[in-house]
Amino acid sequence: MSENNQLRDVYDAIADPTRRRLIRLLAEAEEVPLHELTAQFQMGRTAVSKHLTILKEAGLVLDRKVGRETRFRLNASPLREIQDWVAFYSKFWSTNMMRLNQLLEEEEE
């Protein structure tokens, strides 16, 4: 149930700014056909489609065919992996940690 066939690394999928913008657009609009997404960018349809394929491979996007158009929908849950990962490091930028780093930097000079 809800299989995570992650052919593609999620970190990799979100590394590209175009793909992050696609994620944002899909978060705002529930379900959007390819041509409508393409209209938001300067690049051609093929390029946008490729980016969406990568997002699909990472499990971040679902698509379904409706008539002649392919509509895309966000599936944000794979982002949980990112959140867990980054949460581990949040202790390293606490205010105490920042002051310690400042002191260390001053020492070095």
Reading the block at residue 76, the tokens are 């944000």
Q: Does 91 bind DNA (CB under 7 A)?
A: no
Report the C-alpha dihedral over residues 78, 80, 83, 84, rounded to 10 degrees.
-120
Min dist. Cβ of residue 94 to DNA (A) = 29
In the stretch 23-62, what mask flags binding to DNA with x, by CB under 7 A?
Answer: ----------xxx--x---xxxxxx-xxx--x--------
The number of CA neighbours under 13 Å toward the Cβ of 93 is 5
Give the nearest distance from C-beta 55 to DNA in angstroms: 11
Neighbours of 13 (CB within 10 A): 24
| DSSP structure string for 46-79 | HHHHHHHHHHHHTTSEEEEEETTEEEEEE--TTH
Q: Please identify, among the stretches 17-25, 32-40, 44-52, the one whose residues bind its own copies according to the rule CB under 8 A.
A: 17-25
Residues of this chain that bind its own copies (CB under 8 A): 2, 9, 11-12, 14-15, 17, 20, 23, 27, 62, 64, 74-77, 79-80, 82-83, 85-90, 92-93, 98, 101-102, 105, 108
